[in-house]
């Protein structure tokens, strides 16, 4: 798949994943382990996460990719127009 980047985890990745999970848990926010890991990996390579799972919004500093839906002229369907989230 063109445009996808392989990122390998290391022991430091798992330690940061544990730290993120504990800090979110202390704040009353729970995320599944795979999502914690994905968040840490994405932050480690300064990239955005594209997901429909709203719980990724709970991760401090995580940049989310959010496409904008715009109607196509003369069609009932919508098309996805990529944009970049500048809030992160």
Residue 51 lies in a domain: yes
Tens of pLDDT, residues 3-20: 777 888 899 999 999 999
The answer to the question of residue 87 being in a domain is: no
Are 64 and 49 within 8 A, CB to CB? yes
20-54 tens-digit pLDDT:
999 999 999 999 999 999 999 999 999 999 998 88
The DSSP H or E segment spanning 26 is: helix 11-26
In a domain, 4, yes or no: no
Number of domains, the chain: 1
Residue 1: predicted pLDDT: 46
> Would residue 21 count as lying in a domain?
yes
Range of the domain at 50: 11-81
Model confidence, pTM: 0.71
Q: Of 33-42, 56-65, 69-78, which range is least confident?
A: 69-78
Is residue 25 situated within a structural domain?
yes
Longest dimension (CA), the chain: 53
Instruction: For residue 50, count other CB atoms closer than 10 A to its CB.
Output: 13
Please say if the pLDDT value at position 77 is more than 70: no
């Amino acid at each position: 798949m063109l445009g996808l980047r392989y990122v390998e985890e290391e022991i430091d990745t798992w330690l940061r994943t544990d730290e993120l999970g504990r800090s979110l848990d202390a704040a009353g926010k729970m995320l599944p382990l795979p999502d914690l890991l994905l968040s840490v990996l994405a932050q480690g390579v300064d990239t955005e996460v594209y997901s429909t799972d709203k719980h990724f919004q709970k991760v401090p500093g995580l940049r989310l990719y959010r496409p904008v839906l715009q109607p196509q002229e003369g069609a009932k369907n919508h098309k996805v127009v990529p944009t970049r989230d500048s809030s992160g």
